[in-house]
Amino acid sequence: MNALLKEKHHQIRERVRAFAEQKVKPVIGDYEANEDFPVELIKSMADLQVFGMQAPVEFGGQGSDYLSYIIAVEELARVDSSVAATLAAHNSLGVGPILEFGTDSQKKKYLPGLCSAKQLWAFGLTEENAGSDAQGVQTVASENENGWLVNGHKKYITNGASDISVGISIVAQTGLLNDGRKEFTTFLIEKGTPGYTREFMKNKFLWRAADNAMIYFNDSQIPAENMLGKRGQGIKIMLKTIDSGRLSIAAMGLGLAQGAYEMAVLFAKKRKQFGKAIADFQVISFKLADMAMKVENARNTLYNACWLKDNGFPFGTQSAMAKLYCSQVASEITGDAMQIFGGAGFFRNDDFPIERFFRDQRLLSVGEGSSEVLRMVISRSVLKDE
């Protein structure tokens, strides 16, 4: 129970949890083991109406508040992070910037398909030397009589290579400003654009059933109307997109922590040592109590940040706090859960997939703002307030 939740929030939780338990949980282990992206499973989420759910009804969305979307990600992550990451990246990084910065014609062209669960869209910032340092982007877009010619690459791009991935928003250099600094602009590039190629990334430690890709642009010509926002707004668009995206990564941390905690409780009641369930030993029961407290605090922190966003208040600092804290909690709880499972946690077990949860949580302290960068963001806010 949480004071910020309304009946609509409870309904979306029940709906997504039922789907995750009935449709995702029985099959995701094989997809994960084989590093297969579950296209048909993703398409089957259409009835949930969670893809592009924050978009207005006129564009195919549900007009949902952000907290409803965050709860959907949380409930998927409670069962599996790869499926949760697909939804999180699509809504926050794919739909989000088009919805906020796109022209009416861009919204009408792209959003209905992206709200259908039949199409995915990616966001490309990260490169070999660009991530925490967005200024390190080396992909270049050169203006010509036909629009823009794009050359460069992006890496680790979620939803970048599958058959239902229909395009990507990228940040690229477009020249120099008057003060000599680099100018960055954002563009929409559709699948099928000449010179635009995608490559699945394999041999992953985590999120093995997610679509993570290398993206290449080799003289990719795009029309002028594919610019997203105004020229030179690339960094602004990227930063605003990531502020919202951090909330979805926090939701993944919260959901993963909840799932790991629930598994630990069930296992502790089942596993017997010295003639009784290990849950009856104070050292284990106290560990479970601490885990429950951390999950509760993480949920309160995240939901408060979502409330600020939904009600039009500045939320960047709270978003950074939520993402940092939820990723820490996910790490701590999966570590404690592994300790409770002991040797049983070291092997694949589709009934108790704690080893998958232990692996998947590791990305949360890196993606969409590393923990080190988030502490920089928070500390700047703290010092500014003083």
Residue 355 lies in a domain: yes
CATH code at 54?
1.10.540.10
**Single residue among 232, 252, 283 that ends a domain in this structure:** 232
Q: Is residue 1 part of a domain?
A: no
Same domain, 74 and 90: yes
The pLDDT tens digits for 336-358 are 999 999 999 999 998 899 999 99
- Let me know: does 99 contact 124? Beta carbons within 8 Å: no
Judged by DSSP in three states, 270 sits in helix
Q: Provide the residue count of the chain.
A: 386
**125 and 106 inside one domain:** no
* Joined tokens for residue 369: 């703002």
Of 255, 246, 264, give the one whose Cα is nearest residue 335: 264
Please choose, from the candidates 307, 369, 375, 297, the residue with its C-alpha nearest in 3D space to the C-alpha of residue 329.
297
DSSP letters, 93-162, are IIIHHHHHH--HHHHHHHHHHHTTTS-EEEEE--BTTBSS-GGG---EEEEETTEEEEEEEEEEEET-SS
* DSSP structural state of residue 341: H
Average pLDDT of the chain is 94
- Using one digit for the tens of pLDDT, what is the confidence trace for 278-297? 999 999 999 999 999 999 99
Q: Is residue 2 part of a domain?
A: no
Q: Is 128 a catalytic residue?
A: no
The residue written with tokens 């300790």 in the block is 339
- Residue 242: give the domain boundaries: 236-385
Q: Are residues 187 and 295 in the same domain?
A: no
Among 232, 263, 297, residue at a domain's last position:
232
Give me the CATH number covering residue 356.
Answer: 1.20.140.10
Instruction: Give the per-residue pLDDT at 386.
Output: 52
pLDDT band at 277 (very low <50, low <70, confident <90, very high): very high
Give yes or no: residues 47 and 158 share one domain. Answer: no
**Whole-angstrom distance, CA of residue 305 vs CA of residue 321:** 9
* Alpha carbon distances (Å) from 107 to 140, 208, 329: 25, 31, 37
Q: Are residues 98 and 215 in the same domain?
A: no
Q: 238 pLDDT band (50/70/90 cuts)?
A: confident
What is the model's pLDDT at position 385? 55
Residues in contact with 43: Cβ distance below 8 Å, sequence separation at least 6, in sequence order: 117, 118, 164
pLDDT for 178 beyond 60 = yes
- Note whether 59 and 183 are same-domain residues: no
**Burial category of 43 from C-beta neighbours within 10 Å (exposed 0-12, middle 13-18, buried 19 and up):** middle
Residues 11 and 93 placed together within one structural domain of the fold: yes
Residues 113 and 142 reside in one and the same domain: no
Rounded average pLDDT over 258-263: 98
Task: Judge whether 81 and 252 are in contact, CB under 8 Å.
Answer: yes
For residues 246 and 320, state if they share a domain: yes
Count the domains in the chain: 3
Specify burial of residue 35 (Cβ count, 10 A radius: 0-12, 13-18, 19+): middle
- Exactly one of 128, 368, 372, 386 is catalytic; name it: 368
Looking up tokens 């207005």, which residue turns up? 56
Closest alpha carbon to 21 in 78, 85, 82: 78
